[in-house]
Amino acid sequence: MTKLELIMAFLPIVFMIHEYEEIIMFRCWLGCNRNELKRRFPRFEQFLARRGHFDYSTATFAIGTAHEFILISLISFCAVWIDAYQWWFAAFAGYSIHLVVHLAQWAIYRKYIPVIITTILTLPYCVYAFVEFVKASILSPFQIFLWSVVGIILTMLSLLSAFFLISKFQQWQNKR
C-alpha cells in the first residue's frame, strides 16, 4: 500500500473520530443551548424545531452518522482497490468543506459546539492529505476543482438521504 493509499484509507477513521463528538454531545448541547439559540438565532431555532431536531435521540442521530460512514467507507475502500482516486477526492472534499462549515458555525456562535474539538483535531489530516494528493499529480487543478464540486453536491445529497433515514427511524422509535 502506498502512502497516498494509506492516507485515503484513513478517511473513514478520521470521519468517525469527528462524528463521535457530535453523536456523544449533541443531545446535551441542544438541551443546554436551546434557549440561547432561540434568543440569538430565532429563525434557526425554529428551523430545528419544525424538523424535530430537538426530539432526536442519540440513537436516531447515530443512524444518520452510520449512513454517512458507510458511504465514505465504501468510496474510500473502493477508490483504493480500483484506483478511482477522483471519487475518493470528491468524498474528501465534501468532508473537508463539512469541517469548514463547522468552523463557520463556531465563529458565529462564539462558544463550544459539539463538533469543534474534533474539527480542529482532524483539520491537519485534511491539509496533509490535500498536499500529498496534489504532490502525487493524479488530478489536474481543474479536475481537483471539478471533483470538489462533485463532492460537495454528493455530500449535500447524502445528507438529505441521511436526514430522511433519521426521520423514518425517529417515527419508528416514537411508535414503539
Tens place of pLDDT for every residue, the chain, 176 residues?
899 999 999 999 999 999 999 999 999 999 899 999 999 999 999 998 898 888 888 999 999 999 999 999 999 999 999 999 999 999 999 999 999 999 999 999 999 999 999 999 999 999 999 999 999 999 999 999 999 999 999 999 999 999 999 999 998 988 87
Q: Which long-range contacts (CB under 8 A, 24 or more apart) does 156-162 make?
A: 158/67, 158/68, 158/71, 158/94, 159/64, 159/68, 161/67, 162/63, 162/64, 162/65, 162/67, 162/68
Domain count for the chain, please give it: 1
- Model pLDDT, residue 53: 85
Coarse DSSP helix, strand, coil percentages of the chain, rounded to the nearest 5 percent: 90, 0, 10
- Model pLDDT, residue 173: 87
- The enclosing H or E element of 155 equals helix 141-175
- Model pLDDT, residue 55: 86
What is the span of the domain harbouring residue 154?
Answer: 3-175
- Model pLDDT, residue 67: 96
First to last CA, the chain: 47
- Model pLDDT, residue 151: 96
Q: How many CB atoms lie within 10 A of CB 90?
A: 23
